[in-house]
Amino acid sequence: MRIAFFDTKPYDHLFFDDALRSAGYEATWFEHKLTPDSVGLADGHEAVCVFVNDQVDASVIEGLYERGVRLIALRCAGYNNVDFHAAFGRIHVVRVLGYSPAAVAEHAAAMLLTLNRKTHRAFARTRDFNFSINGLMGFDLEGKTAGIVGTGRIGQILVRILRGFGMRVIAYDPFPAAGSDIEYVPLEQLWRESDVISLHCPLTPDNHHFVDRDAIRLMKPGVILINTSRGALIDTDALLEGLRNRQIGGAGLDVYEEEAEFFFEDKSNDILADERLTLLLAFPNVLLTSHQGFFTREAMQAITETTVDNIRAFEQGAFLENEICYQRMSGGCDRAETRKNCF
């Protein structure tokens, strides 16, 4: 079994090299992302392993299929970059679910604490022997309201963390967590009542740019908005406007809608071509991290193990537990009960 790994970094080798060797798989490592231009690199491989910013659209899927690829193994949870309708019946798509929800929830909490108490600015000041605290005032989280959008694996852990700070937590999710004591409210009410808002839902065609001008207008002036999910949940132009007119008091962004060209890369010697990203970085109350919410030892270990398990299950023709299949996911299929793959 030969697997082509795309968009790879040195830290991927730290975890995958040994695991692939002991499983008996041969890997080809590409630093390039998978795109329509690079799909030819998949020649001679039965599987490709991709990450969050690889472009697995219908044309790439066609190109992979023509070259004999029959498995796309995502080494991440989100799958908005994969046209899984186009893959259906031709190439199986598997992902890694819940590898370390705590890693992302803790990163969201870190961004909130940093933005609120401005420790990123204090760090820079004291390094320059500037011991002034002017402009560094925050607010007590205790007694304030946090609104969590999406209470799946990550959202539920953040609910626990924020309750630990003494916050009232409200949430919105079209599929509330069964048997939980979370206080669910309509989305409009969450926008209106929250001092802090954190997004933990997948990006779908329905919620693309759902944080838009209208939503921001409803929010409390000075709200802190955290996004560790997917960039395109937020309309960046509306966010910039909200920051300029001070409706948004702070934005913690681990994702950005145009991140694919920049995130995970060292661009420090370039002139950044993305004006909106440059503008965002000019705000003292914007904290941007480069999609590192998942990046802990525990998460990398779990991603590696599940990815190798997913590939092994495919190789053995076993039921693909972690398959992204639009029929199965829309409930129109009993394969999960019969534990058989349909193609």
Q: Which residues pair with 224 in a beta bridge?
A: 196, 250
Residue 54 binds to ligand NAI (criterion: CB under 6 A): no
User: Pick the catalytic residue: 259, 261, 312, 323?
Assistant: 259
- Please check whether residue 257 is in contact with residue 236, taking contact to mean a CB–CB distance below 8 angstroms: yes
Nearer to ligand NAI, 39 or 93 (CB): 93
Tokens 């990123």 label which residue?
120
Residue 95 binds to ligand NAI (criterion: CB under 6 A): no
Residue 252 binds to ligand NAI (criterion: CB under 6 A): no
Report the site for ligand NAI in 162-221 (rule: CB under 6 A): 172-175, 200-202, 207
Count of residues binding ligand NAI (CB under 6 A)?
28
Residue 289 binds to ligand NAI (criterion: CB under 6 A): no
> Which of 73, 77, 159, 277 is the binder for ligand NAI (CB under 6 A)?
77
What is the smallest separation between the CB atom of 175 and ligand NAI, expressed in angstroms? 4
CA distances from 132 to 7, 64, 124, 145, 249 (A): 43, 58, 11, 30, 21
CA distance 291 to 282: 19
Residue 246 host element (H or E):
none
> Which of 86, 149, 277, 286 is the binder for ligand NAI (CB under 6 A)?
149
45 is catalytic: no
Residue 78 binds to ligand NAI (criterion: CB under 6 A): yes
- Please check whether residue 48 is in contact with residue 71, taking contact to mean a CB–CB distance below 8 angstroms: yes
> Which of 15, 88, 294, 314 is the binder for ligand NAI (CB under 6 A)?
294
What is the smallest separation between the CB atom of 118 and ligand NAI, expressed in angstroms? 22
* Tokens representing residue 46 in the block: 């039965």
User: Pick the catalytic residue: 291, 315, 323, 328?
Assistant: 291
CA distance 142 to 219: 19
241 is catalytic: no
230 is catalytic: yes
User: Pick the catalytic residue: 230, 241, 305, 315?
Assistant: 230
CA distance 321 to 339: 8
Question: Other C-beta atoms within 10 Å of 239: how many?
Answer: 27
User: In the β-sheet with 71-74, what is the strand arrangement from edge to edge?
Assistant: 26-29, 2-5, 47-50, 71-74, 92-94
Q: Which residues bind ligand NAI (CB under 6 A)?
A: 77-78, 98, 101, 104, 149-155, 172-175, 200-202, 207, 228-230, 254-255, 291, 293-294
* Active-site annotation, residues: 230, 259, 291
